[in-house]
């Protein structure tokens, strides 16, 4: 039996989309009572498919919650005024405006009762109702974690009502009514999901997954940052020469603005993995000078779209899609857990992982270490990315046709998937090669998070050589740079340097020089 909202004709309600005169799309949500509500127009460039997905999501949500058009409001009660001041107080401190906890779990129990009149029995009634919903088998069932979050919201309100600063006008009593009251029951914490390196490689190689989404997945996994942090990432935050990504802000979805990261340790520098370096270089080259480094699609369908892409890539491990008492199905947020666990698989230093991941407590990092220890043979961490993801341009379903027409002619991808690079003068070409090799990732053994520092050797000495093998390597470096094959540059440069260092090492004779001294005799 389906839970989809039905119209009068029996068809599922999916919402509609309006096209505005300026080309933007405006989702229209169908509420549970059959009325319709227009949403805020989406940014210019958002596809119609995304607008329809947004309208469908909110229509289904309205049917599930039974939301209806609000009746005309009269004068707010004293309790309502207190709650509005409380939410303004939370907003000023940057806390999430979780009004659902009030609307679904507090108001149905306490009604319009003012916080100054709350007592211990009122608090225990809320706990009783939360416990009932946790074990319920009906539509009002909630997880024990949701119950804990709702109870934490209410206890915080009780504390503020009894101890807030006078200037906030929130203190309305002298005692905390929920002091000593036991909260709702806890259950088993569900196991967090993460992708094996081999599974992620299959996802990256799947042609049925759009390139834009695969790029986003790669950044989230290889830099193990939160989606909200990627949304607020600017080009200036990526330092290819230093090999780090500066995470300074995250995106506040509820308020549609930037904010500080989730925790104090969230302000950090993440080392750029060698496999991610060429992709970041391509994104910086493509950036048009305004906006974030990677404009992300609307978040309403992130989780379902991610699981759909895994199915397209034939990643079918059962526990990734299980939603049981012990396991939660995987979401796009779990790509962060994947990258952190891969570093644990690689046996990186634990405190270093803690710092780079932004964990306040080492116990959090230790959980990933234990998960990696129990994983077994699941593939090599941070697999190489397909060359298509590193191409300079590609068609995106999230980019407007107008932008495509504006770029047509100068930035069209070649049939191989790489941008055509115009010919340069010899000196300019050498400078370009030096830039591509000195700021690139390290290929030395050990921790892959280390990056190459600027080399002190002149570019001419790096490229020009009389040795035929070294000359062939130098020619390959030039051709790879011209073709945009940045993923092979580090290995070629490393091989060239290794041969030159071996030739000039102490105690090693220069055979060419010896032959010249002997008149060409060996």
Task: Find the DSSP H helices in 46-119.
Answer: 48-65, 78-92, 99-101, 107-110
**Percent share of the chain, pLDDT over 90:** 43
pLDDT tens per residue across span 452-473: 333 333 333 344 455 777 777 7
Confidence of residue 450 (pLDDT cuts 50, 70, 90): very low
Residue 270, φ and ψ in degrees, nearest 5: -100, 125
- Averaged confidence pLDDT in the chain: 78
Average pLDDT on 408-419 reads 35
DSSP letter assigned to residue 267:
S
DSSP letter assigned to residue 117:
G
Task: Say how far apart CA 250 and CA 253 lie, in whole Å.
Answer: 9
pLDDT tens per residue across span 280-307: 999 999 888 788 999 888 777 788 899 9
Q: What is the pLDDT of residue 364?
A: 93
- Pair of tokens at residue 46: 């958002």
- Pair of tokens at residue 333: 């947020």
The residue among 339, 333, 331 whose CA lies nearest residue 200 is 339
Q: What is the pLDDT of residue 6?
A: 46
* 246 beta partners: 269
* 239 beta partners: 244
Residue appearing with tokens 């043979």: 377
What is the radius of gyration, based on Cα positions, of the chain? 29
Taking 70 as the threshold, does the pLDDT of residue 507 lie above it?
Answer: no
Q: Per mean pLDDT, which range of 81-85, 92-96, 194-198, 513-517 is the poorest? A: 513-517
Please measure the distance between the N-terminal and C-terminal CA atoms of the chain and give it in whole angstroms.
87
Higher pLDDT, 381 or 509: 381
pLDDT tens per residue across span 89-118: 988 887 877 888 999 999 999 999 999 999
For the chain, the residue count is 522
Higher pLDDT, 75 or 69: 75
Average pLDDT on 50-78 reads 74
Rounded to 5, what percent of the chain is helix, strand, coil?
Answer: 45, 5, 45
Per the CB < 8 A criterion, the answer to whether 244 and 356 are in contact is: no
Taking 70 as the threshold, does the pLDDT of residue 318 lie above it?
Answer: yes
257: helix, strand or coil: strand
**Percent share of the chain, pLDDT over 70:** 75
Q: How far is CA 436 from the centre of its chain?
A: 27
Other beta carbons within 10 Å of 332: 21
């Amino acid at each position: 039996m389906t839970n989809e909202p039905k119209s009068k004709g029996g068809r599922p309600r999916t919402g509609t989309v309006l096209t505005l005169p300026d080309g933007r799309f405006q989702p229209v949500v169908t509420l549970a009572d059959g009325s319709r509500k227009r949403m805020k127009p989406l940014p210019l460039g958002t596809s119609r498919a995304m607008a329809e997905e947004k309208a469908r999501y909110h229509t289904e949500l309205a049917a599930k919650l039974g939301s209806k058009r609000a009746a005309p409001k009269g004068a707010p009660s004293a309790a309502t005024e207190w709650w509005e001041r409380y939410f303004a107080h939370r907003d000023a401190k940057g806390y999430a405006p979780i009004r659902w906890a009030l609307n679904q779990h507090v108001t149905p129990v306490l009604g319009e009762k003012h916080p100054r009149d709350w007592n211990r029995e009122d608090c225990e009634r809320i706990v009783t109702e939360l416990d009932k919903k946790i074990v319920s088998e009906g539509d009002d069932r909630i997880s024990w974690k949701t119950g804990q979050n709702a109870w934490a919201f209410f206890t915080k309100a009780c504390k503020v009502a009894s101890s807030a600063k006078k200037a906030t006008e929130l203190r309305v009593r002298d005692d905390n009514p929920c002091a000593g009251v036991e909260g709702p029951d806890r259950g088993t914490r569900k196991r967090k999901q993460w992708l094996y390196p081999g599974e992620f490689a299959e996802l990256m190689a799947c042609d049925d997954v759009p390139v834009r989404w695969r790029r986003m997945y790669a950044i989230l996994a290889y830099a193990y940052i939160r989606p909200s942090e990627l949304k607020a990432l600017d080009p200036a935050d990526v330092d290819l020469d230093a090999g780090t990504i500066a995470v300074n802000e995250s995106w506040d979805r509820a308020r549609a603005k930037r904010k500080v990261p989730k925790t104090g340790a969230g302000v950090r520098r993440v080392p750029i993995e060698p496999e991610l370096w060429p992709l970041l270089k391509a994104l910086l080259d493509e950036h048009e000078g305004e906006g974030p480094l990677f404009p992300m699609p609307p978040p309403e369908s992130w989780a379902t779209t991610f699981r759909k892409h895994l199915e397209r890539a034939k990643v079918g491990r059962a526990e990734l899609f299980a939603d049981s008492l012990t396991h939660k199905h995987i979401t796009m947020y779990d790509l962060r857990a994947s990258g952190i666990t891969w570093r644990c698989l690689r046996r990186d230093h634990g405190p270093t992982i803690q710092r780079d991941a932004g964990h306040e407590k080492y116990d959090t990092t230790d959980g990933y270490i234990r998960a990696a220890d129990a994983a077994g043979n699941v593939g090599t961490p941070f697999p190489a990315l397909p060359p298509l993801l590193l191409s300079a341009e590609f068609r995106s379903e999230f980019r407007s046709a107008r932008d495509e027409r504006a770029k047509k002619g100068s930035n069209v991808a070649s049939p191989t998937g790489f941008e055509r690079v115009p010919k340069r003068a010899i000196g300019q070409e050498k400078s370009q090669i030096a830039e591509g090799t000195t700021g690139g990732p390290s290929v030395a053994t050990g921790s892959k998070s280390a990056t190459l520092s600027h080399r002190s050797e002149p570019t001419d000495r790096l490229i020009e050589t009389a040795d035929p093998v070294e000359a062939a390597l130098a020619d390959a470096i030039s051709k790879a740079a011209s073709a945009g094959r940045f993923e092979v540059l580090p290995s070629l440069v490393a091989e060239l340097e290794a041969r030159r260092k071996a030739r000039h090492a102490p105690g090693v004779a220069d055979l060419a020089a010896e032959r010249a001294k002997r008149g060409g005799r060996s």
